[in-house]
Structure 1
Amino acid sequence: MRKKLESLLLDALDDYKTLNIVNINVQKLTTEMDSMIIATGTSTRHVKSASSSLVEYAKKQKYEIFGLEGENSGEWILIDFGDVVVNVMLAETRELYNLEKLWIKPKN
């Protein structure tokens, strides 16, 4: 079920023209989620629009939304689907917090 949800979310983010979409498997790093998807929006309006559209699309597909944060500012919106967490961010915000560096473990 998680793979189907990931695929649906990744395709939708691509359809909504978000940039630099990354899917990180975090199963070995936390029990809070299995994967984290990060995408960049080109403006606060784009971040808000893509996130809102993603939530509505997922709900139509019968997926539950467990949490939604940041929708007022539009700099970084986090959508919690349980096993999958989506972060849609402005480029500046993404660069500042650098979630990829925090969550991607170097290969030894």
Structure 2
Amino acid sequence: MPHPRTKLPKLAKIAVDALEDLKGQDIKVLDVQKLTTVTDTMIICTGTSNRHVKALAQNVAEDAKKAGHRPLGIEGEEAGEWVLVDLGSVVVHVMQAQPRAFYQLEKLWTVEEPTTAADAQAQPQPSSGKTVAARKTASRSPATKKTAVRKTAAKKPTAKRTQSKTAARKPAH
């Protein structure tokens, strides 16, 4: 299990237990106190279907209520692909596998600090101020730019097509 039970806050332990009771998969507990003021702990769990995701989220909310922690909000129950249960200091994301893989919340909320001086130097440096689009355009060769212009010019409508379109737009009197 990726989270040591003894170090979990009481409310987080209640949520994890509720998820495990209904066979929630790949449960991750993230301490996000240093990253945001919105919550202290984020729990991410995978459900196998819409119905399973909804049941997991409902179980977390019910167990929290029984322990005296009323949920501040529950979002996404209608669709059941991603349900968020906001318990204040703990936010629980119950997701199906596909949205979880797509959004990768673990990567978004995990900060990996370099362990050695060599790792710190390998970190990406700030950009020179150019936008990504500007860098891509600048890296193109002149031949590529000419080809793009030629392709655009070839797609212009002929005079005959333009006249027929214009005639079709004019209202008949």
- Normalized against structure 1, the TM-score is what? 0.95
- 1:78 pairs, out of 74, 78, 84, with 84
Runs of 4+ in structure 1 deviating by more than 6 angstroms, as ranges, are none
Q: Partner residue of 2:62?
A: 56
Structure 1 residue 61, shift from structure 2 partner:
1.3
Aligned residues of 2:39 and 2:91 also touching (Cα < 8 A): yes
- 1:43 pairs, out of 3, 27, 49, with 49
Q: How does 1:83-94 map to 2 (within 5 A)?
A: 83-94=89-100
Structure 1 residue 48, shift from structure 2 partner:
0.6
Aligned residues of 2:61 and 2:70 also touching (Cα < 8 A): no
Give the match's secondary structure for 1:78.
strand
Q: Percent identity between the aligned chains? A: 50
* Letter aligned with residue 53 of structure 1: N
Does 2:109 correspond to 1:103?
Answer: yes
Highest relative contact order (Cα 8 Å, sep 6+), 1 or 2?
1
Give the match's secondary structure for 1:74.
coil
Q: Partner residue of 1:32?
A: 38
* Letter aligned with residue 64 of structure 1: R
Does 2:23 correspond to 1:17?
Answer: yes
Structure 1 residue 12, shift from structure 2 partner:
1.4
Gaps of 5+ in 2: 1-7, 115-173
Give deviations 1:9-64, integer Å, cap 9, x for gaps.
Answer: 11111111000000000000000000100000000010011111221121111112
Aligned-residue CA RMSD (Å) = 1.0
- Normalized against structure 2, the TM-score is what? 0.60
Inter-partner Cα distance in structure 1 for 2:55 and 2:14: 17
* Letter aligned with residue 99 of structure 1: L
**Which protein has the larger Cα radius of gyration, Structure 1 or Structure 2?**
2
Gaps of 5+ in 1: none
Give the number of equivalent residue pairs: 107
Inter-partner Cα distance in structure 2 for 1:59 and 1:11: 14
* Letter aligned with residue 67 of structure 2: Q
* Letter aligned with residue 75 of structure 1: E
